[in-house]
């Protein structure tokens, strides 16, 4: 028995032919769907990147207890459990977060692993002189932005792209071990995660006229770019999806060539999707977790169920189900604290009533496959928010001493194997409160454009949410943060959709594009620091947008325009208030 997982990052299911897309050039995804069971109701759980990978290892939700970080000492790891049972596990990846502080314990769980450098500002090639960087629409230009342009110069051809090298390595493992038994290989590429860097033959699949600034790396913010710029970025993403499709085809070719369909489990998946201008947003994490982000593509071939080839599955499944599926395939016992279950490949058997998903400090969400309930914090303080961890690291750095000053020891959770964790005051750069609590009916509103106000449905969905939180042993602080009961039933006095309706409506209004605003000596295109340097303009901005002028980020804004700062501030800057600012500035 053998198993292959092909994993992409930030793959939007709506741009794949098996899920109804007719524009993206992805023939191998269509070919894949003919050979596998295609899951129509697959959802993410913990997000974003490393929390999702922790679920792939542990088969349990983690976002209620901790933010981004490594595997914990008490975590059970699926690849490690396989390794202990005599299954050789191998990781081939170009995903840079595995080799940062916040992901440092994952790759060591595999029997063998290899890594390919250069994705998204990976600190790879050392170059002291500045690289040549074209005029670009990207506004947040941290160190990784410069480094990415250094890295690109070292991958001028497709054969040197880290995605290509990752699949080369995965296919080499398959070729080397095709006649051996009991192995699992995870071929995992960072693509089509931003930046959308691909080579010309994939861009040629999407001919279009564009003569604006370079734009293949949108910031996580609201859309303020022109329609042409948005369309161009979507074409760049699609080109990278087509490159991913080509790499996928290489794996399918190997399955055919070596007749691996007879004895090899194949899973093709992603961690989450990406917003490409839909609903007026770019990226992820700064807005609610809409279905473009959490409703995932998932394809599974199980050689024990050949009749499932080409069939669709409607069962509600999640990322937490991947580890149980792979362990069960190899006959390895699943730990008691694994919350996922093997995927229903053979027959479309329901495996859960509802699915939990979210990000630490954001909305806590639940879906039953028809309704999606997004529970926001009960107050603007978004607290209490606490980290429960023995591995106090963020994405690229350790917790600072200042963050650890007030840490305490918490009592053990059932899944920590009797071990007490550190309880540390948490932090978040987003605040879901501004978006309000949201309820959607996917049957009548599949695009999630018209939030419901329905007390009866909210009461039922809030009950499902609390039930799943309790099964997950959510800390008491999470119930307090969300205004939900840690014990006892959910009552009508706990409902928030109606109470938070106004702020939800305000946050959902897209920012009009800059060309829609009046122009004068000052405008929304003026740099914030320029506006604050003029007493009259500064008074307008301070009166309407005090959150911007009081921000600690002012020292980093430089020449950033007011419209771009508003876009990056997300729901904290209402569109109607921004219009007032534009009108008053134009009169100065």
Secondary structure of 5-55 in HEC code, one letter for each residue:
EEEECCCCHHHCHHHCCCCCCCHHHHHHHHHCEEECCEECCEECHHHHHHH
**Burial of residue 576, with CB atoms counted within 10 A of its CB: 0-12 exposed, 13-18 middle, 19 or more buried:** exposed
- Nearest in space to 120 (alpha carbons), one of 150, 92, 91: 150
Q: What confidence score (pLDDT) does residue 319 get?
A: 98
* Separation of alpha carbons 325 and 334, rounded Å: 10
Quote the pLDDT of residue 159: 98
8-state DSSP, 552: T
Q: Which of 27, 36, 35, 48 is nearest to 428 (CA)?
A: 48
Helices (H), 258-311: 291-294
Tell me if 547 sits within 8 A of 512, measured CB to CB: no
Class of residue 180 by CB neighbours under 10 A (exposed 0-12, middle 13-18, buried 19+)? exposed
Q: Phi and psi (nearest 5°) for 422?
A: -75, 140
Confidence at residue 558, expressed as pLDDT on a 0 to 100 scale = 59
pTM here is: 0.96
pLDDT at 512: 76
Backbone angles phi, psi at 183, to 5 degrees: -140, 155
Taking a C-beta distance cutoff of 8 angstroms, is the pair 532, 541 a contact? yes
227-257 and 162-177 helices cross at what angle (nearest 10)?
10
H or E element in which residue 250 lies: helix 227-257
User: For residue 555, with 0-12 CB atoms within 10 Å meaning exposed, 13-18 middle and 19 or more buried, which class applies?
Assistant: exposed
Angle, helices 535-544 vs 575-586, to 10°: value is 160
What lies within 8 Å, CB to CB, of 347 at 6+ separation is: none
> Residue 7 is encoded by which pair of tokens?
């994993």
Contacts of 76 (CB under 8 A, 6+ apart): 57, 58, 59, 335, 337, 338
Token pair recorded at residue 491? 């009552």
How far apart are alpha carbons 565 and 562 in whole angstroms? 5
pLDDT at 32 (0 to 100): 98
Structure tokens at 553: 């980020």
Helix (H) or strand (E) holding 229: helix 227-257
Predicted confidence pLDDT, tens digits, the chain (588 residues): 999 999 999 999 999 999 999 999 999 999 999 999 999 999 999 999 999 999 999 999 999 999 999 999 999 999 999 999 999 999 999 999 999 999 999 999 999 999 999 999 999 999 999 999 999 999 888 889 999 999 999 999 999 999 999 999 999 999 999 999 999 999 999 999 999 999 999 999 999 999 999 999 999 999 999 999 999 999 999 999 999 999 999 999 999 999 999 999 999 999 999 999 999 999 999 999 999 999 999 999 999 999 999 999 999 999 999 999 999 999 999 999 999 999 999 999 999 999 999 999 999 999 999 999 999 999 999 999 999 999 999 999 999 999 999 999 999 999 999 999 999 999 887 899 999 999 999 999 999 999 999 999 999 999 999 999 999 999 999 999 999 999 999 999 999 999 999 999 999 988 877 777 888 899 998 988 889 889 999 999 989 988 777 655 565 565 788 998 889 888 888 888 888 999 999 999
Cα distances (angstroms) measured from residue 409 to each of 1, 224, 418, 423, 548: 44, 45, 13, 6, 37
Q: In this structure, what token pair is assigned to residue 367?
A: 């879906």
Alpha-carbon span 40 to 299, nearest angstrom: 9
Strand partners, 389: 422
Are residues 65 and 358 in contact, defined by beta-carbon separation less than 8 angstroms? Answer: no
Burial of 47 (0-12, 13-18, 19+ CB in 10 A): buried
Q: Tell me how far apart the terminal alpha carbons of the chain are, to the nearest angstrom.
A: 74
Which of 35, 47, 39 lies closest to 10, judged by CA? 47
């Amino acid at each position: 028995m053998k198993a292959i997982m092909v994993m992409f990052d930030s793959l939007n299911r709506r741009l794949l032919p098996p899920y109804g897309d007719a524009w993206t050039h992805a023939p191998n995804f269509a070919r894949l769907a003919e050979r596998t069971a295609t899951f129509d109701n697959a959802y993410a759980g913990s997000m974003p990147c490393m929390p999702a990978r922790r679920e792939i290892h542990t088969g349990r939700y983690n976002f209620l207890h901790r933010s981004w970080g490594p595997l914990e000492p008490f975590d059970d790891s699926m690849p490690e459990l396989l390794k202990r049972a005599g299954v050789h596990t191998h990781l081939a990846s170009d995903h840079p977060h595995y080799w940062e502080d916040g992901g440092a314990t994952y790759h060591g769980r595999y029997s063998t692993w290899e890594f390919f450098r250069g994705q998204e500002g990976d600190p790879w090639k050392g170059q002291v002189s500045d690289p040549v960087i074209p005029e670009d629409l990207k506004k947040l230009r941290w160190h990784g932005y410069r480094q990415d342009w250094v890295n690109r110069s070292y991958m001028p051809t497709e054969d040197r792209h880290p995605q290509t090298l990752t699949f080369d390595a995965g296919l080499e493992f398959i070729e080397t071990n095709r006649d051996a038994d009991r192995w699992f290989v995870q071929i995992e590429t960072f693509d089509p995660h931003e930046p959308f860097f691909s080579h010309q033959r994939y861009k040629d699949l999407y001919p279009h006229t564009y003569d604006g600034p370079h734009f293949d790396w949108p910031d996580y913010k609201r859309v303020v770019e022109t329609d042409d710029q948005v369309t161009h970025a979507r074409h760049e993403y699609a080109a990278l999806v087509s490159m991913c499709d080509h790499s996928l085809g290489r794996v399918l070719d190997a399955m055919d060539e070596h007749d691996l369909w007879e004895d090899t489990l194949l899973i093709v998946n992603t961690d989450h999707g990406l917003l490409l201008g839909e609903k007026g947003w770019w990226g992820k994490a700064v807005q609610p977790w809409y279905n473009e982000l959490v409703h995932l593509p998932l394809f599974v071939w199980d050689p024990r169920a050949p009749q499932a080839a080409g069939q669709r599955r409607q069962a509600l499944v999640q990322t937490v189900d991947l580890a149980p599926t792979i362990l069960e395939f190899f006959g390895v016992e699943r730990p008691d604290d694994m919350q996922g279950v093997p995927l229903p490949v053979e027959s479309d058997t329901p495996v859960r009533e509802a699915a939990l998903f979210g990000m630490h400090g954001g909305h806590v969400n639940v879906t039953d496959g028809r309704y999606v309930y997004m529970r926001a914090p009960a107050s603007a303080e978004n607290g209490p928010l606490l980290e429960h961890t023995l591995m106090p690291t963020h994405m690229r750095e350790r917790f600072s001493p200042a963050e650890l000053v007030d840490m305490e020891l918490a009592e053990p959770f059932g899944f920590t194997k009797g071990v007490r964790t550190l309880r540390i005051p948490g932090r978040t750069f987003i605040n879901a409160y501004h978006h309000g609590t949201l309820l959607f009916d996917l049957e009548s509103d599949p695009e999630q454009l018209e939030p419901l106000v329905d007390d009866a449905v909210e009461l039922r969905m809030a009950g499902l949410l609390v039930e799943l939180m309790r099964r997950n042993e959510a800390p008491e602080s999470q119930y307090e943060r969300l205004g939900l009961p840690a014990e006892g039933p959910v009552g009508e006095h706990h409902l928030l959709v109606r109470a938070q309706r106004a702020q939800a409506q305000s946050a959902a209004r897209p920012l009009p594009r800059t060309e829609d605003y009046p122009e004068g000596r000052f405008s929304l295109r003026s740099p914030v620091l320029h506006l604050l340097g003029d007493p009259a303009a500064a008074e307008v901005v301070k009166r309407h947008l005090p959150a911007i002028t009081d921000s600690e980020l002012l020292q980093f804004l430089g020449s950033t325009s007011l419209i771009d700062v508003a876009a990056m501030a997300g729901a904290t800057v209402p569109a109607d208030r921004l219009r007032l600012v534009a009108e008053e500035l134009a009169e100065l």
